[in-house]
């Protein structure tokens, strides 16, 4: 398994749940930022994230374009509480950890999934894109468990990432001002464009 890992926390805010996050969110920027992260990292760093019905298909499409060995370079975590709503793309990833639900309790089940996801690996960085309160929860836990890791709330995507950026002094200005997500990920994650990318193995995805 490649090391170190990159943690992704991302979602597209739901207008029916919270105007606080939706009012600043830019769905196109969220998609572009996720695609930029996948392009830069896959085949170079392990990418770990918690399943979200809007984000997992984006990662599948971007990973398919890059052409990497999915089972080696991505690790998806999913709470079984949401098994009836899993996106079809879940079945296409070879490295999925399904975490048991906790007493049919949404908050407790998500907390357990996040605890396992963030303690199974040492992380080089955490990238936070768009999102709502769950992204803020994951940011807080990530900083607690990985205090020396790089944190990148991509503020230009809005939502929770913007609020995190505004409340965290000392972060790079380009997280708010730049829409060059590929260039940003190369710079801030310190992954040079010249770094070799491991492509597909002989095993079919």
pLDDT band at 205 (very low <50, low <70, confident <90, very high): very low
Tokens of 196: 């070799």
What pLDDT, in 10s, does the model give residues 123-157? 999 999 999 999 999 999 999 999 999 999 999 99
What pLDDT, in 10s, does the model give residues 13-35? 888 877 889 999 999 999 999 99
Q: What is the 3-state secondary structure (H, E, C) of 109-165?
A: HHHHHHHHHHHCCCEEEEEEEECCHHHHHHHHHHHHHCCCCEEEEEHHHCHHHHHHH
Tokens of 96: 């999925």
Are 154 and 28 contacting, i.e. CB atoms less than 8 angstroms apart? no
pLDDT at 84 over 80: no
Domain 5-188 has CATH 3.40.50: yes
DSSP reduced 3-state for 47: strand
> β-strand 123-130 against 96-99: which pairing, if any?
unpaired
Q: Which residue has the tokens 């399904």?
A: 98
Q: Which residue has the tokens 């399943």?
A: 51
pLDDT at 57 over 90: no
């Amino acid at each position: 398994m490649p090391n170190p890992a990159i943690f992704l926390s991302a979602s597209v805010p739901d207008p029916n749940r919270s105007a606080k996050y939706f009012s600043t969110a830019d769905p196109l920027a969220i998609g572009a930022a996720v695609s930029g992260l996948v392009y830069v990292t896959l085949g170079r760093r392990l990418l770990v994230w918690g399943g979200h019905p809007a984000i997992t298909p984006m990662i599948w499409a971007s990973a398919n374009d890059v052409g990497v060995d999915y089972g080696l370079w991505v690790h998806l975590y999913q709470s079984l509480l949401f098994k009836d709503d899993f996106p079809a793309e879940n079945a296409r990833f070879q490295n999925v950890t399904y975490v048991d639900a906790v007493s049919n309790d949404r908050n407790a089940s998500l907390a357990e999934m996040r605890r396992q996801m963030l303690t199974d690996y040492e992380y080089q960085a955490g990238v936070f894109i768009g999102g709502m309160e769950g992204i803020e929860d994951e940011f807080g836990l990530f900083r607690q468990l990985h205090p020396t890791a790089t944190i990148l709330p991509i503020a230009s995507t809005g939502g929770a990432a913007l609020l995190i950026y505004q409340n965290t002094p000392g972060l790079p200005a380009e997280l708010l001002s730049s829409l060059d997500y590929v260039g940003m990920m190369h710079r801030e994650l310190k992954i040079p464009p010249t770094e070799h990318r491991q492509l597909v193995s002989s095993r079919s995805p």
